[in-house]
Amino acid sequence: MRRGTFVRWGVPIAAAAVIGAAIGAGPVIAAVSGDPVLPERSAEQLLADAAAATGKEGGIPPMSGTVQQTASLGLPSLPALSQAGASSPLSLLSGSHEVKVWYGAADKLRVAMPTQMNETNLIINGGEAWYWDSATNTATRVSVKAPAAPTHTPAPVPQTPDLTPQQAAERLLAQADEHTTVRVINTAEVAGRPVYQLVLSPKDAGSLVQEVRIALDGETYVPLQVQVFAKGSAEPAFQIGFTQVTFTPPAAENFTFTPPAGAKVEENTLALPEEAGRHAEEHAERAKDVAGEAKVVGDGWTTVAVVPFDLNDVTAQASQEGGEGAALLDSVLASATPVSGPWGSGKLISTKLVTALLTDDGRLLVGAVTPEEITRAAGVK
């Protein structure tokens, strides 16, 4: 009888094992089969090839796929974030988000962000751009001269006309060498495709960053994934990349948009650059002010920015503007720990990747460094 019991319960246990294996198959297989799937490349070769491939006529090949962004910065639990809604930029600080991308050519792009029973779309086709928001049932026509740079364009590889890709790569690596170790992994997979991972590890121990991994498709050299690992954590603190990708030209319907009947249609010709310009000017002015008093301590990965900062001002401004900003600020400040040292005293906010110190003498120090490093920077007057 007991034997029968074991046999019976073996069935659900086996079912659970099969399901677990199916879920974990990807990572497990990747971990078990560490065999190189791509021919070995040095970092220099890889960068040169990538520059050559993406710099040539046509640039990125037509493709479509799903891009997922995940952040687990170890921020304190932020109730404000969950209320902010999926479309708020603040929501990107925590959790994971998904957009779908269809890329036909340099001037043919559709980015869709599906949410539950809603969807926002940005469709760029030639000189015409549409922004569609199903939640408000609004289609906005934006006329732009050139398509706004899509978020997933390849990592900027400096290209000076008089440099060959090879030379550019050499120069870039030489610059990086001072603070960074660069290596290439050729056994990884992203979205089911073999990729080269360019791994950048800071040499300085004071950095919170363990390494940054940039995955380039083994065939097309299109960047498929960027991961930032914090020290002492096996999971990336920040990750953006394709979870599914195909390098075939997407159907033409994706790039044609006709406002549906009954939708509000707004024309926004040239409004975007103007608005943006105005904002940019304002920001630039403020930035200039700030920059006048701001300075940088350290260099490379352990750079700490020191900015004059008056907490009261910001709080007042945030509560004036109201909404999620104030809530976020509140919850962040609530989690701060008071610290003090020879440099003075202040409040320390630490996450997996970024540490910020708000000193009582009105300075804000921010950097991807350890709390020790940032207090040391605070001592540098």
Partner 1 sequence: MSTAESATPSRTTSPATEATTPPAGGTATATAPGPGPRRTPGLVPVTETRGTAERTPREPEPGRAGGPAAPLPRRAGAFWRLLGSELGLTFRRPRNLLMLSVLAIVPIIIGIALSLVSAPDDGIGGVIASVAGNSLMLTFFAFSFLVLLLMPVTVSVVAGDALAGEAGAGTLRYLLAAPAGRTRLLLVKYLNAAIYAYAATAVVALSSLLTGLVLFPAGPLTLLSGTTISMGEGLVRIAVAVGYVGAAMAALAAVALALSAFTEVSIGAIAATMVLVVVCQVLRAIPELDVITPYLLPARFTDFDAVLRAPIDWAALWDGLLAFAAYIALFGSIAWARFSGKDITS
Q: What sign results for the dihedral spanned by CA atoms 316, 85, 151, 296?
A: positive
Return the DSSP state at 167: H
Whole-angstrom distance, CA of residue 337 vs CA of residue 45: 46
Residue whose CB is less far from partner 1, 201 or 243:
243
Whole-angstrom distance, CA of residue 353 vs CA of residue 312: 26
Q: Out of 33, 87, 137, 164, name the contact with partner 1 by CB under 8 A.
A: 137
Q: CB 72 → partner 1: shortest distance, Å?
A: 8
Q: CB 263 → partner 1: shortest distance, Å?
A: 7
Per CB under 8 A, contacts with partner 1 among 218-247 are 244
Kindly state whether residue 112 participates in binding partner 1, applying the rule CB under 8 A. yes
Pairing state of beta strands 138-143 and 264-267? parallel
Per CB under 8 A, contacts with partner 1 among 30-49 are none
Whether residue 353 contacts residue 368, with contact meaning beta carbons closer than 8 Å, is answered with yes
Q: Out of 31, 174, 205, 251, name the contact with partner 1 by CB under 8 A.
A: 251
Closest CA to 264 of 110, 144, 141: 141
Pairing state of beta strands 193-202 and 180-190? antiparallel
Residue whose CB is less far from partner 1, 9 or 269:
9
Written as one letter, the residue type at 14 is: A
Residue whose CB is less far from partner 1, 44 or 330:
330
Q: CB 11 → partner 1: shortest distance, Å?
A: 5
Kindly state whether residue 82 participates in binding partner 1, applying the rule CB under 8 A. yes
Give how far the C-alpha of residue 216 lies from the chain's centroid of Cα atoms, to the nearest Å. Answer: 15
Q: CB 319 → partner 1: shortest distance, Å?
A: 23
Whole-angstrom distance, CA of residue 287 vs CA of residue 296: 15
Residue whose CB is less far from partner 1, 139 or 328:
139
Kindly state whether residue 114 participates in binding partner 1, applying the rule CB under 8 A. yes
Kindly state whether residue 77 participates in binding partner 1, applying the rule CB under 8 A. yes
Kindly state whether residue 322 participates in binding partner 1, applying the rule CB under 8 A. no
Kindly state whether residue 81 participates in binding partner 1, applying the rule CB under 8 A. yes
Kindly state whether residue 59 participates in binding partner 1, applying the rule CB under 8 A. no
Q: CB 346 → partner 1: shortest distance, Å?
A: 27
Whole-angstrom distance, CA of residue 113 vs CA of residue 111: 7
Closest CA to 254 of 78, 61, 104, 33: 104
Closest CA to 244 of 195, 193, 191, 194: 191
Kindly state whether residue 149 participates in binding partner 1, applying the rule CB under 8 A. no
Q: CB 259 → partner 1: shortest distance, Å?
A: 7
Closest CA to 140 of 273, 272, 277: 272
| Beta bridge partner(s), residue 94 | 72
Site residues (vs partner 1, CB under 8 A): 4-5, 8-9, 11-12, 14-16, 18-19, 22-23, 66, 70, 72, 77, 81-82, 91, 94-96, 100, 112, 114, 116-119, 121, 130, 132, 134-137, 139, 244, 251, 253-254, 257-263
